[in-house]
Amino acid sequence: MRDLTIGALSKQTGVKVPTIRYYEQIGLMPPVPRTEAGRRSYGGEDLKRLGFIRHARNLGFEIEEIRQLIALAGEPERPCADADAIARRHLATIDDRISRLSALRAEIARMVDQGPHGAIGECRVIEVLADHGLCADSAH
């Protein structure tokens, strides 16, 4: 049954209408039939697929990863190893991001905790931002 407008689909999934159109344009959502009035007409499978995409995006998966996961989901008898591999790569990316953010946090905390908090001319934050060599970790 295809009786959902793009607005209704948007409301049910929390995905904005322009984003739904974008997903259709890049082939993440399949083309949908149109009514005689030219409006898109979505069904339950479209609702499920868009929910899948939204959840994956909320978890930080990139578009290409989602495309691969959707393709895998279409082969229910296939072993899960490929989906696991995509998720493991994504997890490694998250761990790397967390590590970099932790280092950034430590550096900014060090800047704030060091030196006087008087006039700008003596401000450690300004000094460190002006001279990257004063950072404890130059890798950030």
Instruction: Say which residues have a Cβ less than 8 Å from residue 92's Cβ, sequence separation at least 6.
Output: none
pLDDT at 110: 83
CATH of domain 1-60: 1.10.1660.10
10-residue averages of pLDDT along the chain (140 residues): 87 96 96 87 94 96 97 93 97 96 90 75 79 75
In angstroms, rounded to a whole number, what is the distance separating the alpha carbons of residues 28 and 26? 6
Task: Specify the pTM.
Answer: 0.79
Q: Sort 107 into a burial class: Cβ within 10 Å, 0-12 / 13-18 / 19+.
A: middle
pLDDT at 139: 67
> Residue 53 in 3-state DSSP?
helix
pLDDT at 83: 96
Domain ranges within the chain, ordered by starting residue: 1-60
CA-angle at 15, arms to 74 and 86, nearest 5°: 40
The residues with which 77 forms a beta bridge, in sequence order, are: none
pLDDT at 134: 75
Q: In this structure, what DSSP letter does residue 132 have?
A: G
